Amino acid sequence: MKANLRNNNTTPPQPLPIRGCHVSTTLDCSCIEKLLLHCSAALEAADATVAQQVMWVLNNVASSGDGGSGDTNQRLASWFLRALVSRAAALWPTFSSLGLSGPPARSMSITELAGYVDLLPWHRFGFCAANRAIIDAISGGDHNNLHVLDFGVAHCMQWPTLIDSLSKHTNGPPLRLRITVVSDRPPVPPFLDVPLNEVGVRLTNFARSRGVPFEFCATSNPFILDDNDDDEVLIVNCQNWLRYLPDSSARDGFLEKVRKLGPELVIVVDEDSNVDSRSLQKRVSECFNYVWIPFDALETFLAKDDERRIEYEADLGRKIECVIGSSRDGRWMERLESGARWAERIRRAGFERAAFGEGAVEEVKGLLGEHASGWGMKREEDMLVLTWKGHNSVFASVWVPC
């Protein structure tokens, strides 16, 4: 293929069948992935000539994926091309003249954010599993107060459901529910046009309407918690947060600090893929074969020009840039690790795995029944794993101190 690319041959190879990809009449995922890997290899070798030639080919392939048109593969290729151009621009500034940067992410209203979160079970799967684990942790215990330390990127969208569930609990709600939210949130989509303190006010009003005594706190230093009492259950909730910790040292250090807090339970929910290699080619390959999941899922129920789909895909495009980017880009980096690899880290930090109860399993199944039939759930050891057409997408796990 390299010879063809050097000769600027824009005819893609004949389609090859590949499991898990939509195949069009002109190209398939295999062809696009090969082009992306050629481009990645050129960038790693600092070969500007080959990189530009392959990008030109990719631009022809991906051009019909712009502006809400094209099939799933073309739309996906379009966002990977943007990310590779951005990466190249960090090496050779002239690449920025290609003008492929996407529009900036907009801030949503709370109503719009709720609709965004409901499009796919990507977030709600973790919310559902975690909330049931929290309720199970306090059921039948002697503790009267519940304190949740929340590391999340979804602007507290998880908590109204928990508050509502606590209000209906057989033994009544706790004497106090306190949620402490980390204010230093990674600057990644989705964005909200309401400040954190206003979110807290709305949650407080909602809790009052449900008869749940509630306290909302925001902190920039989550590892210094004030006013802890012996009658309080501390639960640490990490929802799609850990992958933004930049390296192994930061991740291990984070878990050690969590262990020192002495939590009753730690919940970890994140995307189930290994996209943290130092090799750009490996990151591109892993990311490409992972990000097609939400692209493919959106294809099943939203029209090509649906604004919700276009916006969701644009946020996935920014995710691709975070994965492909380097520290030289000045961009927030995203490095995914699978649930199995996180399990190794968490065990080293002094935790052992706990199992989700059958109630959590049934609630997650009920949630998935509201979405397309391609979504499923499976157990891997004691983890719950969200799947799309059999492919792992998000894992949820619960941990207790050893």
The mean per-residue pLDDT over the stretch 27-31 comes to: 77
Residues of the chain with CATH 3.40.50.150: 108-273+336-401
Token representation of residue 94: 């002239």
Alpha helices for 23-71 (secondary structure H): 29-44, 48-62
**Is pLDDT at 158 greater than 60 in this prediction?**
yes
CATH superfamily placement of domain 108-273+336-401: Vaccinia Virus protein VP39 (3.40.50.150)
**Is pLDDT at 224 greater than 70 in this prediction?**
yes
Residue type, 143: H
- Per-residue pLDDT, 100: 55
**Is pLDDT at 19 greater than 50 in this prediction?**
no
Nearest residue to 269 via CA among 244, 239, 241: 239
Average pLDDT for the chain: 88
Please name the residue that has the structure tokens 């050893």.
402
Token representation of residue 305: 């020009």
- Per-residue pLDDT, 18: 30
Percent of the chain clearing pLDDT 70 (strictly above): 86
Q: pLDDT confidence of 132, banded at 50, 70, 90?
A: very high
Please name the residue that has the structure tokens 């995914």.
336
The mean per-residue pLDDT over the stretch 77-98 comes to: 83
Q: pLDDT confidence of 22, banded at 50, 70, 90?
A: very low
The mean-pLDDT minimum among 169-178, 236-245, 363-372 falls in 169-178
The mean per-residue pLDDT over the stretch 387-397 comes to: 98
For residues 192 and 153, is the Cβ–Cβ distance under 8 A?
Answer: no
- Per-residue pLDDT, 90: 84
The mean per-residue pLDDT over the stretch 91-108 comes to: 72
**Is pLDDT at 15 greater than 50 in this prediction?**
no
- Per-residue pLDDT, 17: 33
Decide: helix, strand or coil at residue 225.
Answer: coil
The mean per-residue pLDDT over the stretch 113-122 comes to: 97
Length of the chain: 402
**Is pLDDT at 288 greater than 90 in this prediction?**
yes
Beta strands (DSSP E) in 78-198 are: 107-108, 145-152, 176-182, 191-192
The mean-pLDDT minimum among 145-159, 207-221, 330-344, 362-376 falls in 330-344
22 compared with 152, residue with greater pLDDT: 152
**Is pLDDT at 70 greater than 90 in this prediction?**
no
Task: Tell me the pLDDT tens digit for each residue of 169-223.
Answer: 988 888 899 999 999 999 999 999 999 999 999 999 999 999 999 999 999 999 9
Measured between alpha carbons, how far is 87 from 40 in angstroms, rounded to an integer?
A: 10
Q: pLDDT confidence of 14, banded at 50, 70, 90?
A: very low
- Per-residue pLDDT, 8: 35
The long-range contacts involving 195-198, CB below 8 angstroms and separated by at least 24 positions, are 196/155
**Is pLDDT at 388 greater than 70 in this prediction?**
yes
Measured between alpha carbons, how far is 312 from 186 in angstroms, rounded to an integer?
A: 18
